[in-house]
Structure 1
C-alpha cells in the first residue's frame, strides 16, 4: 500500500541579499510504500534537508504536492499543521533535540503530553518501547547523564511512542561513535521489520546500507539498492 506520494516537487529560495533565486529541488517525484525503509543520499547542497523539511510539513514547496495517506500536507492550514505532525510523523535528529531539564522518560512523553493523553496511557505505552531499545534502566536519568547512543535511542522512543505513520530521520548517526551507530542501525532494522516505515537522510554509506531502498540525487528511487 502506498503511504507517501511526492509529486513534482520544486522549491526555489530567494536570497536575502541581491534577490537571486536558488533552486533547491526540481521536479522531484517518488512514492513510499507502508513498511519501506528508505535512505536518501546526496552531496551537501543537493536539497536533502529541503526535501525532508517539506515531507515533515516544516516548509512548503514552490510547486508540487506531498500526500500522506492521500492527504495533501501542502494544503493543511497552518493552525492544524502541528497537530498533524504529532499524529502522523515521528522525528529523529542528529543532535537528539532532548530537553535537559526533563528526564529521559519525560522527554519520551512529550508528543503524548502535547496530544493530551492521560499519564496512565503514557506509562502503558512507554515500557515496551523502552525495553525494545534497551533504555528502560535510564528512564529516570537526565540527558546530560547518559551517553550519545542512549540519547539517540531515547529520541527514537520519543518518535515511536505516538505510533506515527512515518519516521523521518535526519542524519541519525551523525553524532554517534561506531559502536553506538551499529546499535542504532540494528534497532532501526528491527523497528522496520515490525512494520514501521522509515525515511532517513544520511551521508553515511554504513547507515544507508541498512536501508531497503536508496534515493539519490536527482532523487531516483533505487529498489534493492544493496542486493
Structure 2
C-alpha cells in the first residue's frame, strides 16, 4: 500500500533581484510504500533539497500533488501545516537541531509537549525508544555534553516519539565519523524492520546502500531508480556508484 504519492511535482522559483525564473523541479513522480526505506540521491543542484522541503511541507510546489496517507499536503491551509507536520512527519537533520538549553530528554519530548501530551504518556513513549537507541544514560545530559553520534541518536528518538507516518532524514550521517555513521545506519535498518517508513536524502553512497530502494534525481526529475532485491550492501554500493558515474557523464534517462 502506497503511503506517499508524488505526482507531477514542479517547482519554479522567482529570483529576488531581476525576477528571473529558476526551475528547481520539472516533473517529479514516484510513490513510497508503507514500510519502505528509500534513499534519494543526485548531484548538487539536482533538486533534492527542494523536493525534501516539499515533502516536509516546508514549501509548496508550483504545481502537482504530494499525497500522504490519502491527504494532499499541497492543499493544507497554512494555519494547519505545523500541526500536520508534527502529527505525521518525523525529521532527522545533518546538524541535529537540538536545543542546547534543553536536556536530551526534554529535546526528545518537545514535539509531544507542543502536541499537548501528558507527562506520563511522554515517559511511556520514551522508555522503549531510549532502550532501542541506547541513550538511556544520556537523557539527563545536555547536547554540548555528548558526542555527535549520541546527538544524532537523540534526534532520531525525537523524530520517532510521535510515531510518524514517514521519517524524513536529510544527510543524517553528514556530520558523523565513520563509526557513528555505521551505528546510525544500523539503527535506521532496525527501525525500518519494525515497520517505520524512511525517506532519506543523502550524498553518501554508503548510507544509500543500506536502503531498500534508491531514487536518483537529475535536472529536476527522477532519472533512475535501483531496487535492492537480493543484493548485499556492497553489491548495492557498486550499483549506486556506477549509476552516479553515468549521471555525471550525462547518460540518458531510463525509460
The alignment's TM-score, normalised by the length of structure 2, stands at 0.88
Q: Flag the 1:12–1:113 CA change in 2: closer, same or farther, 3 A.
A: same
In the TM superposition, what are the counterparts of 1:65-144 in structure 2 within 5 Å? 65-144=65-144
Residues 1:9 and 2:9 aligned together: yes
Which residue in 1 is equivalent to 2:189?
189
CA distance in 1, matches of 2:87, 2:227: 28
CA distance in 1, matches of 2:25, 2:225: 15
Q: CA deviation at 1:226?
A: 7.9
Residues 1:39 and 2:39 aligned together: yes
CA distance in 2, matches of 1:221, 1:82: 31
**CA root-mean-square deviation:** 1.0
Unmatched segments (≥5 aa) in structure 2: 232-255
Q: What secondary structure sits across from 2:57 in the alignment? A: coil
Report how many aligned residue pairs link the two structures: 227
Q: Give the conservation status (yes or no) of the 8 Å contact 1:214–1:225.
A: no
Q: Give the conservation status (yes or no) of the 8 Å contact 1:30–1:221.
A: no
Q: What secondary structure sits across from 1:9 in the alignment? A: strand
Q: CA deviation at 1:221?
A: 3.6
1:222 pairs, out of 226, 234, 242, with 226
CA distance in 1, matches of 2:230, 2:211: 8
Q: Deviations over 1:102-143 (max 9, x none)?
A: 000000000100000000000111011001001000000000
Q: CA deviation at 1:19?
A: 1.1
Which residue in 1 is equivalent to 2:149?
149
Q: Deviations over 1:71-105 (max 9, x none)?
A: 00000000101000011000000000000000000
Which residue in 1 is equivalent to 2:238?
none
Q: CA deviation at 1:225?
A: 7.1
Unmatched segments (≥5 aa) in structure 1: none
CA distance in 2, matches of 1:226, 1:11: 36
CA distance in 1, matches of 2:131, 2:154: 11
Q: CA deviation at 1:68?
A: 0.3
CA distance in 1, matches of 2:201, 2:42: 9
CA distance in 1, matches of 2:21, 2:30: 25
CA distance in 2, matches of 1:106, 1:42: 35
CA distance in 2, matches of 1:4, 1:64: 13
CA distance in 2, matches of 1:143, 1:18: 43
Which residue in 2 is equivalent to 1:20?
20
CA distance in 2, matches of 1:126, 1:193: 19
- Bigger Rg over Cα: 2
The alignment's TM-score, normalised by the length of structure 1, stands at 0.98
CA distance in 2, matches of 1:163, 1:56: 16
CA distance in 1, matches of 2:51, 2:127: 33
Q: Give the conservation status (yes or no) of the 8 Å contact 1:189–1:210.
A: yes
